[in-house]
Structure 1
Amino acid sequence: MKTLFATTVLCLPLLACAEIDVRSDPGADQRRGAAVVTPAAVSTSPATNAAPSRDGTGSDGLWYMYGQGNDAPDAAVNPGQALNAYRQAHGLQRLQQNGRLAAAAQAHARDVARMGKVGHTGSNGSTVGARAKAQGYNYSTVGENVAWTSRGFPTVMQIWDDSPGHRKNLRMREATQYGIGRSGDYWVLVVARPL
């Protein structure tokens, strides 16, 4: 029993996010009273995928170098490319990076990092739909995945793929665009289809 409890407690942070937030009703957030803030000016042009620089960042700001063990470099991974490779491997269309969704994902990643917990509700009570709208993104469908791990984006993808709810968002057929945010070891993916 102690082993089962210890295993559950140790694995819980990796799998803590099982909720899916997919809405097809654009007015649902406001009717539920979720906070919606003024949209920020964010570029919506797709990012270019340049090779990573020495510090692991690329022109899209989403390249990272990961270490395992004694900080030995793992590999340069572009989360957007990894997401699209995953989708293509499952017979799904590639998603286009969207700056407004990336801003919503990044804001929530910073928020959950500040709170120190994985979840879909922001510190102000916001939902993924409200956060997307706050960045000026009007959607017909939106979904969000959140994860925490120090192992890097390949592990994040594995965590999400191992969870039925998160896998549903990774494989959402209706989605055409995505945004990814990271703050420390907290990762957020937002997938959506605009109106």
Structure 2
Amino acid sequence: MSSSSKTESFTVCVFCGANPGASPQYTAAAQDLAKLLHKNNWTLVYGGGTVGLMGTLARTLVSLSGPNAVHGIIPRALIKFEQGGAIPKTEEYGTTTVVEDMHARKAMMGKLSNAFVAMPGGFGTMEELFEIVTWNQLGIHDCPIVVLNVGGFYDGLLGWVKKAIQEGFIKENMEGILVEAKSVDEVEDLIRSYKPAQGRFDLNWNAEGKD
């Protein structure tokens, strides 16, 4: 995971659902996000799926930018849920790395990326989003984290953040760790203009305990 400061090129990790959702607006947003990545020549890291919003996002970007623009990371146990029960085809979904568990998946997604976007999704999407938010709070990275609030999907979550601040569980200056995009068009500017929240932990995460 690299610092996002002073960079014009981003590898964007997108967390999103393995289901398409009840409204076609979610699929449309995934397609539009792929177009935005293509326009900026940004690459995608995602959860390696062929179905739902994950599949739409990857297929669309590969169709525009080619397979080298997409890197999916999938735990071995989940392959059986993909199309044909097989590893996604490179020509349709880009490069796929198979890992042994969910922890390895998240670690690799974080290591390869320098910006993060959360689209609508379920439990897995929320778990991935909040782990990367926590890593930012703890000073493990300072990369942009954007919540793409399609059709108000994340209104409740954003309201919970404000409630947790109000009740003293999150410091007010930490609210800026994640920023809201109300449309796909806002994602680019929010990534480029992102500034790490003040008051984040200044901790030494060097594996050897050295500066």
Coarse TM-score class (shorter-chain normalised): under 0.3
* Larger helix percent: 2
TM-score where L is the length of structure 1: 0.26
TM-score where L is the length of structure 2: 0.25
Whose relative contact order is higher, 1 or 2, with alpha carbons under 8 Å and at least 6 apart? 1
* Larger strand percent: 1
